[in-house]
Amino acid sequence: MRTEDLIHFCAPGRLIIGNGSRHQLPQLLARLGYRSGVLVTDAFFAEKTPWVKEYTEAAERLGISTIIYAGGLPDPTTGLCDEATAVLRDQLAGKQPDHVIALGGGSNIDLAKALTLTLPHGRPIAEFAGDIGGCRPLPLIALPTTSGTGSEATPGAILLDPANATKIAVMDNALRPQIALIDPEFTYTCPPRVTADAGIDAFTHAIESFLTLDSALFERAGNPDPGYSGRSPLTMLFARESMRLCFAWMERAYQQGDDTEARVGMAYASIYAALSYGTAGLNAGHGIAYAVAGQTHKSHGSTNAVMLPYVLDALCETRQSELAEIAQMMGLATACPEESARRVPVAVRAMIERLDIPSDLKAFGIEEETLDDLIADALAVTRLAKAFPVADATLAYRQIVLNAWDGHLSGQP
C-alpha cells in the first residue's frame, strides 16, 4: 500500500473466462433481459467459422433476435463506422437494439464500441471524439478472438480518420463492455503471425503499464471518472501476473499453435494485461509505435515490439527497482539492481527476435531522414508522452528513436 495512491479502477461489468464459455452467452443474455441485438464481426468469422451461426441460432431459440454486420476491417475508419451505422439503422427499420456484440480482434471490438454510440440516433462517430459528452452507449458484449489487444476491458475505441491519416480516440468508461467473455478456443486457429503480434501486444500492455506514471502524479484534468488514471499496486498486480504468463507461454503459443495449454495461458495473460493498462494507461512505447505505424502501416503488435526494448532502456534509472523485479521473473537477476535492470531490454529484444519481428527501426523499414518527423508525430500523442515517467519526455523520445534506429541498448555486451 502507498498512502499517496489515488485508485480509480474500472473493469468490465462481468468477466467470464473458460474454454467453451461462449456457449453460455445466449442463456446469460436472456437472463439479463436482452431481446434484440447487433453482432459486429468480419467476413472471415461470419463465413469461415461456425461461431456466428451457433450463437444466433441458440439466441433465437431463447427469443433473442440478432442482426449481423460482417463488414469489420483491420484498423477501422470513421467512414466505415458511419457507413455501418447507416446500413444497420436501415436494417433495424426504426427498432432500437438493446445490446451490441463484438466478435473478433481489437479492430472489430473498437468498431462495435463506436457503434454503441452511433446506432441510437445515427450521429457520425466524429462527434464523439475524445469525451462522449455524457451519452449513454448501448450495452456491449465483447468476445475477443485473439490474445493481445485487451479491448474487451478498456474504455476506448481507436479509429482511423482517413481525412488526415491519424487515429482518433473515442473514450469513456461507459464504453467498457458489460460482458467480456474470453473463450480461449477462439484463439486455437490463430495463425503464427497473428499469435506473435497479439502476444507481444499483450506483453507490451503489461510491462508498459507496470512502469508507467503513478496514480498520484497522473493528470486527470479534473475528470471525476477518468478512463486512465496511472499505475497503482492493484494494476501492478495484474501486470505482474500477465508478464509471468507471457514469459511462460508466448513463444510456445507462437511455435506450437496446437498447444492448448499455451493458448489458455496467453488468453489469461491478455486479459490480465488489459485489467492493468485499462486503468493505469500506457506511455512512450505505444506513443512512438503509433508514429512508426503511420510511416510503415505495419501491424500494431510489431510496431510496439520494435520500440519496446529501447523504451525500457530509457527507464533503467527511473524504474530500476521495477525492472530488476522483472529481471528476477526472467531469471536474469544479479546482485546489482542496476545491472539486473539493464539486462531486461536486451532479453526482451532477443525474445522479440525469436518471434521473427525486426528489432530495430532500420530493419523495420524506417528511413533515417524521416526520424525527426517520427519523433514529432510521437510527441503529438500528448496523453502518452505526459505519462512517461522521465524528467524530459521530449529529450527521452529523441534518444529512444535514435537508439532504436541504431539498435543500441545500454546493457548489450
121-150, pLDDT tens digit by residue? 999 999 999 789 889 999 999 999 999 999
Helices (H), 190-232: 192-211
Residue 134: the pLDDT is 85
Residue 256: the pLDDT is 97
Which residues neighbour 133 within 8 Å (Cβ) at sequence distance 6 or greater? none
User: What gap in Å lies between CA 288 and CA 302, rounded to an integer?
Assistant: 12
Q: What is the pLDDT of residues 235-254, one digit of tens each?
A: 999 999 999 999 999 999 99
pTM: 0.96
How large is the average pLDDT for residues 343-350? 98
What's the chain's average pLDDT? 96
Residue 369: the pLDDT is 97
Q: Are 8 and 15 in contact (CB under 8 A)?
A: no
Q: What is the pLDDT of residues 244-303, one digit of tens each?
A: 999 999 999 999 999 999 999 999 999 999 999 999 999 999 999 999 998 998 999 999
Residue 165: the pLDDT is 62
The residue among 299, 308, 300, 326 whose CA lies nearest residue 208 is 308
